[in-house]
Amino acid sequence: MRAALARALDRALEGRRLDREDGYALIRAGEAELPAVLEAARTLRDRGKGRVVTFSKKIFLPLTNLCRDYCGYCTFRRDPGEPGAHTMPVEEVLALCQAGARVGCKEALFSLGDKPEALFPDYRAWLRRQGLRTTLEYLRAVAARVVEATPLLPHLNPGLMSARDLAALKEVSVSMGLMLESASARPLAPGGPPDRAPDKVPARRLRTLEEAGRLRIPFTTGILIGIGETPEERVDALLAIREVHARWGHIQEVIVQNFRAKPTIPMREHPEPGLDDLQRTIATARLLLGPAMNLQAPPNLSPASYPALLGAGLNDWGGVSPLTIDHINPEAPWPALVALARATARAGGVLRERLAIYPEFIGRDGFLATPLRAKVAGYVDAEGLVRPELAQWREAGLDGAADPELAPVGAPPRSQKEGEGGDS
């Protein structure tokens, strides 16, 4: 093993903060070195998170798929008039939220295109007829209705946000997110000219992360790998996230998302990152970000690889929906929760449902708007995770009820439940 890598692993296991050179040594790990990197990442994950691996039961609400950007890897965006172009009216959002609540969802994930009003006059006129100027104002109005009229908790993922936008949206959500994607402007909008994706300028995205920290907003971010960045640029992006988190302590989750080629995108011929590359990057993220960070990789983008992802040090599977597709990756179905639970159990872990706000942030001063506190408190146990009796992921059809290895932490033993005459 190279001396630089051995040094990085030693320092990580001693609980020391890794520097950029350590990160580069980790991300350059060769085939023979990778098992040691993965083992160190698992050790750190277990130190910080124990056996618990989490997910959030959600519905996915693509509030509008109009977008002013043209990213070469995107299959989500539409221009007005294009087949599939759609902006959801509030009634449609509320009906979907109510349907989601009936099957046990707690998170209303709003994911949408970035600032379509800047590019499309007809859409701008539509907003004006609602008495609004921006898509983010519309998002705020709709999320407020979700909070008032449904049991769901909004998580907002609407692209770049100013400090004023963030402050307004904090009042109607439990958390927000913006993928940093990359800290380098070089792979900007791969497959298209850079000026076609003004919202993907890394400095602007980092500014949103910074403002979210200043405003004490539980925030999800992450990197997108395989879009033309170098391995070292992945490390730079992870360190940029670590820096902003060190200043404000607000990053609740970091996602390592792998690019997937799709036949309809400009980057359809672009190679996808291999599983070893994804594992190496997840493990590097764990070792750079430390045992306390929540680390996720989307399971529906690596459907046959749950053990490999767990073996690289993640502790969260992200949002999973029993009702709505992944509109960003519509070809990739969500995993069955029981499959995630079994894979987690085989790796020595226990699957638990969390809310869109991570437990660490629920009781922290100033991180949750007052009107949302009672609703959040009604869902969680002393650990800040969804109370087992409300965690309906083992309902009929998910087939996990008969499997004792899947009993949630804190749940009564199976024999006791049978005596009570039912399962949750």
Residues in the site for ligand SF4, rule: CB under 6 A?
Answer: 67, 69-71, 74, 76-77, 113-114, 159, 197, 199
| Shortest Å distance, C-beta 309 to ligand SF4 | 23
Closer residue to ligand SF4 (CB): 67 or 309:
67
How far apart CA 77 and CA 208 sit, in angstroms, is 21
Closer residue to ligand SF4 (CB): 199 or 211:
199
| Shortest Å distance, C-beta 407 to ligand SF4 | 39
Alpha carbon separation from 322 to 56, 58, 69, 146, 393 (Å, rounded): 11, 8, 30, 19, 9
| Shortest Å distance, C-beta 109 to ligand SF4 | 14
Question: Hey, what long-range contacts does 115-122 have (CB within 8 A, 24 or more apart)?
Answer: 115/67, 115/68, 115/159, 115/160, 115/199, 116/64, 116/66, 116/67, 116/68, 118/68, 119/68, 120/66, 120/68, 120/79, 120/80, 122/80
Closer residue to ligand SF4 (CB): 144 or 256:
256
| Shortest Å distance, C-beta 115 to ligand SF4 | 9
| Shortest Å distance, C-beta 79 to ligand SF4 | 11
Rg for the chain (alpha carbons), in Å? 21
CA dihedral 296, 246, 45, 402 (to 10 degrees): -50
Closer residue to ligand SF4 (CB): 64 or 321:
64
Closer residue to ligand SF4 (CB): 27 or 255:
255
Closer residue to ligand SF4 (CB): 5 or 63:
63
- The tokens describing 2, both together, are 């190279």
Closer residue to ligand SF4 (CB): 45 or 260:
260
| Shortest Å distance, C-beta 113 to ligand SF4 | 4
Closer residue to ligand SF4 (CB): 184 or 424:
184
Angle at 175 between CA 372 and CA 316, to 5 degrees: 120
- The tokens describing 45, both together, are 């994950």
Closer residue to ligand SF4 (CB): 85 or 99:
85
How far apart CA 251 and CA 160 sit, in angstroms, is 16
Contact 172, 166 (CB under 8 A): no
| Shortest Å distance, C-beta 68 to ligand SF4 | 7
| Shortest Å distance, C-beta 25 to ligand SF4 | 32
Identity of residue 185? A
